[in-house]
Amino acid sequence: MLIYENVSIQYDGNIALSNFSLEIGNKEIVALVGESGSGKTSAIRGTMGLLSGKGEIIKGNILFEGKSLLNRTSKQWQEIRGRKISMIFQDSGAMLNPIRTIGSQFIDYICTHEDMNKKDAWEKGRLMLEKMGLSNSQRIMKSYTFQLSGGMRQRVGIAMAMTFNPKLLLADEPTSALDVTTQAQIVKEMMDLRDHYDTSILIVTHNLGVAAYMADRILVMKDGKIIEEGQTEDVIRYPKDIYTRNLIDAVPDMRRASYV
């Protein structure tokens, strides 16, 4: 469904990602694991055409459902962004305008993609929040992001991302700003998304525990390159690269059954 063909990304002459190739199938969960600066965030931001600053894709191609995601017009992006491909971030709260309510931004989002009046859009947004287990959805819709806890903000982000039942969810460090308990809940909830919405997930994380728990496949990245990839089970049990082995050793209890 999503194919990266030898993608290279650079920022102002500095290579951040080189010759990155990956294919993600339907309902598959793939994790990109690596420390900061390994190019994993560039990979998913590049997918959405949202590289920050002077970042640009200098080589290769990214195909979604057979069509290239490069050189899209803003109109063409609108069909993809937030509809077929959604994105959640390290802090989904920061991804919303701090001086407008969650509800008003939810309405804006829904009305961008669907011809709907504001009242229905509000109701649709509220129901999405409830589906994500946010029981006081009415109040949350009227809140500003800074009034919510980290876990709630992340659930709001996921609820928004799933509104249009996207084919693919790109998750950029979705759990790293959360405490351990909330982390575990969010991870479980993201796993459920695949079952409920048939969504593929590409998750970027520095936390090998989260990756091992969620992903079908893991790609270990370092300095903009893939240094190891394979089925989660194989990568965790029989790491080939020394770097991967170090990453695994860094996670307490990694070799035992409980990954998260």
Partner 1 sequence: MLKKQLFKRFTQIVIVLLGISFMSFLLIYLAPGDPVRAMFAVTGSIPSEEAMEEMREELGLNKPFLVQYGDWLSKCLKGDFGTSYSQGRPVSWMLSERVAPTLNLALLSLVIMLIIAIPIGVISAIHQNGIIDYICRGFTFLSISMPDFWVGLLLLYFIGVKLRLLPVVSTDMGFKKMLLPAFTLGFAMAGKYARQVRGAILEEMNQDYVSGALARGISASTVLWKHIIPNAMLPLLTMLGLSLGSLLGGTAVVEIIFSYPALGSLAISAITSMDYPLIQGYILWIALIYMLVNLMVDISYSYLDPRLKKGV
Residues of this chain that interact with partner 1 (CB under 8 A) are: 45, 48, 50, 52-53, 74, 77-83, 86-87, 89, 91-92, 94-101, 105, 108-109, 112-113, 144, 146-147, 160
Q: State phi, psi for 190 to the nearest 5 degrees.
A: -70, -35
- Written as one string, the DSSP assignment of 21-75 is EEEE-TT-EEEEE--TTSSHHHHHHHHTT---TTEEEEEEEEEETTEE-TT--HH
Nearer to partner 1, 159 or 208 (CB): 159
Residue 152 in tokens: 């709630």
Q: How far apart are CB 257 and partner 1 at their closest, in Å?
A: 36
Output the 3-class SS for 64-126: ECCEECCCCCHHHHHHHECCCEEEECCCCCCCCCCCCCHHHHHHHHHHHHCCCCHHHHHHHHH
Q: How far apart are CB 146 and partner 1 at their closest, in Å?
A: 6
Q: How far apart are CB 10 and partner 1 at their closest, in Å?
A: 19
Nearer to partner 1, 113 or 206 (CB): 113
Q: How far apart are CB 83 and partner 1 at their closest, in Å?
A: 6
Nearer to partner 1, 48 or 214 (CB): 48
Nearer to partner 1, 173 or 229 (CB): 173
Residue 221 in tokens: 């990245």
Q: How far apart are CB 245 and partner 1 at their closest, in Å?
A: 34
Nearer to partner 1, 150 or 230 (CB): 150
